[in-house]
Amino acid sequence: MKNDHDFILIAQSNIVDYDSYNLLDPGRLDLYKSLVYPRMVRVDSNFVSHLDYINLQVYGRTYSRSSYQQRRDMLNIWNIPSMSGLHLQNYAKSRGYNPYVINNLDSEVDCLSELLANAPDLPIVISTTFYLQWKEVFRIVGIVRNISSNSKIILGGAFVNSFFTESGSKETTRNLLKHRIDFCVHSFNSESDLFDLLDWLQSESSISPPNNCLLLDGSSYIETPIVWNSPLLAEIKPIWHELDIPSLKSTLQIRSASGCPFSCSFCSYPTTAKVWETSSEEEVRLHLDSLAKIPNLKNIIFIDDTFNVPVNRFKSIVNILKEYDFGWYSFLRVQFVDDDIVRAMKDSGCKGVYLGIESSNDHILSNMNKQARRSDFARGVALLNKYDIDYVAAFVLGFPGETLSTIHDNITFITEMNVKYYALKEFYYMHNTKVHRDRNKYNLSGSGGRWKHATMTYSEATNLKLDMFMSIPNSIHLDPDTSLWHLAHLDDLGFRRDVVRDYQIEINELIREDLLSNSSSRSLV
C-alpha cells in the first residue's frame, strides 16, 4: 500500500454485534424475542444475521469468524462501497486532497494497521452516518487509538450532526472529551467545513479556523461559528472512474438530489436537510458516463430520497438510463407511477425499488401526512408486480392512531396485493419532527424507541410486529435494517434473483418455527 495519502477516511463499520445475543438464555426467547427476531436467525443454537446464514452455506463460516482478508469478499452489508466515503473522496480531489478510504473498518483493520505503520500521523476522519449511539463511535475510536495513539481524529456525518442539533454543544463535548476526540464537524452539509479544517491543520493554525467545529483545547473544546451550508451537488464531479475504490465489486451508490420535498410527520429529514436540490438530467448523464468507464461496474444504487419526484425529471432520467447497460435500484414514491413509467423503468434496467408505504390505512396515512392513499399504493404495487420489478414495501408500526384493526389492514394489503418483499419497523419518535408538535392531540409521550400514545405503546407495537410476521403466508419479509440493500448486495456478489428469494424464504421459515415452538407469538389471522 503506497502512502501518498493526506488522510484516512473510515466510512462505515459493522453495527450489530450478533454474537452478543448468544449470551441470552435460549429457553427464555419469549422475553427477548423482539430484540432478535425477525432480524436474525438461529443456526445450531446461535443467532446470526440473514447474510451470515448465507455466508455459512456458501463459505462454511460467519463473517466474524473469518480473517479480514476473507471478510472483504463475504456478504456483509457494510462491504457495499459507502456513498459518504465516495462522495467525500470525490470532493477531496477538487480540494487537492487524496484520502485513503477504509470502507468497512471491520473488514479492513489490517489495511488501517499497515497504513498507520508507515504514516502514524495521518489524520483519521470518521463518518458517523450510520451510528445511533456514542458507543458505536467510541468502538471505532478505540480500534484506531489501539493502532496509533497519536492520530488526530476528526468526527463528522449524520449522527454527530443530529446529536449536536438535538442535544447541544455541552452534551456533545462531554462525549467527545471521554475519548479526547480532537475535532468534531457537526454541520449537516459538512464537506466544505471538513476540508477547511484540513487546510487549517496544514497551515498550522495560520488561517482562520473552520466553521461548525469543536476543537479540542486542553480539557475543553473551542466552538467555532455555526453557519448553514448548502448541499454540494454541482461540486461533486463526474470523476468516479478516476477514484481508487478497493471495496468495489460491481455496485456503486450515487445521488442526484439532496433533501426531500415532502414532510412526513414522523421524519426528521425535512427539518435537518432544510433545502431540496436536484441535479439536472444532463448532469446525471455526465455521472453515468463516468460510471460507464469503470470496468465491471454492473449496478447503481441511487440514494435520493424521492428519485421519482418531479415526475418529468424522473421520466427523462429513466430514458437516459436506457442508453446504458446498468441495472439500478432506488427509493420510489410509488403513488406517482403509471403503466408507462413502470414499463420504462423495467426497460431501463430497474432491478429493485424501496417503497415507503408506512401504512395501508388511510386514517394513519393522513396522520403521517403521507399525502397518499391506500388505493394509490395498491395501483403502484400492482404495476411493479406486472413488470416484475423487485421491491421492498416498508411499513411503520405503532404510529399515533394505530390499533389492532389498522395492523389487520396492513396484513390484508400485503396478502391481497401479493407484495413481493416487505419490511416492518416500529415507529421511532424523534422530537425534531412534526408529530412531536402534534403530541398533545395524540397524547404522545416518550422518545426514540420508547413511547406511548392514546392507542398503543411501543411494547405492543413490538409484539404486533412479530404477530404480523407470523400472519403473512406468501410475501417475503426482509430485515428492515438492510432492506433493498440486502437484494442489491447479493446481486452485487453474483447471487441470482431466485436464489436470493429462496434463501429468504428458508430464513423466514426457520424464524417462524422458532417463534412457534419457543414463544407466544402467533398469527393474527
Mask for 274-313, x = binds ligand SF4 (CB under 6 A): -------------------------------xx-------
Neighbour tally for 320: CB within 10 Å: 15
- Which of 144, 142, 143, 139 shows the shortest CA–CA distance to 159? 139
Q: State yes or no: residue 264 binds ligand SF4 (CB under 6 A).
A: yes
Give the β-pairing of 46-49 and 450-453.
Answer: unpaired
To ligand SF4, the closest distance from the beta carbon of 133 in angstroms equals 22
What does 16 interact with, of ligand B12, ligand SF4, none (CB < 5 to 8 A by kind)? Answer: ligand B12
Using CA atoms, how far apart are residues 300 and 334, in angstroms rounded to an integer? 20
Binds ligand SF4 (CB under 6 A): choice among 81, 210, 231, 270: 270
CA distance 490 to 50: 11
What is the three-class DSSP state of 404? Answer: helix
What's the min distance (Å) between Cβ of 342 and ligand B12? 22
Rounded Cα distance, 446 and 443, in Å:
10
Least spacing, CB of residue 291 vs ligand SF4, in Å: 24
The partner in contact with residue 390, picked from ligand B12, ligand SF4, none with C-beta cut-offs of 5 to 8 angstroms by kind, is none
Q: Which does 262 bind (CB under 5 to 8 A by kind): ligand B12, ligand SF4, none?
A: ligand SF4
Residue type at position 435:
V
* Contact residues for ligand B12, defined by CB under 6 A: 15-16, 77-78, 80, 82-84, 87-88, 125, 127, 129-132, 154-159, 161-162, 185, 189-191, 194, 269, 303, 305, 480-483, 485
Q: Of these partners, ligand B12, ligand SF4, none, which one is at the site of residue 356 (CB under 5 to 8 Å by kind)?
A: ligand SF4
Phi-psi bin for 3: left (phi > 0), alpha (psi -120 to 50), beta?
A: beta
| DSSP state at residue 448 | B
Burial-class residue 219 by CB neighbours within 10 Å (0-12, 13-18, 19+).
exposed
Q: Where are the alpha helices (DSSP H) in 186-280?
A: 191-202, 269-273
Are the C-beta atoms of 414 and 422 separated by less than 8 Å?
yes
Rule CB under 6 A: choose which of 8, 48, 260, 414 binds ligand SF4. Answer: 260
List CB contacts of 126: < 8 A, sequence separation 6 or more: 9, 10, 137, 140, 141, 144, 153, 154, 155, 156, 157
Nearer Cβ to ligand B12, position 127 or 367? 127
* Residue 11 grid cell: 466510512
383 binds, options ligand SF4, ligand B12, none, Cβ within 5 to 8 A by partner type: none
Question: Residue 477: what residue type?
Answer: H
Query: CB of 359: closest distance to ligand SF4 in angstroms?
Result: 12
CB of 369 to ligand B12, least distance (A): 16
Q: Which of 262, 276, 336, 442 binds ligand SF4 (CB under 6 A)?
A: 262
The nearest distance, CB 410 to ligand B12, in angstroms, is 18
What residues make contact with ligand SF4 under the rule CB under 6 A?
Answer: 260, 262-264, 267, 269-270, 305-306, 356
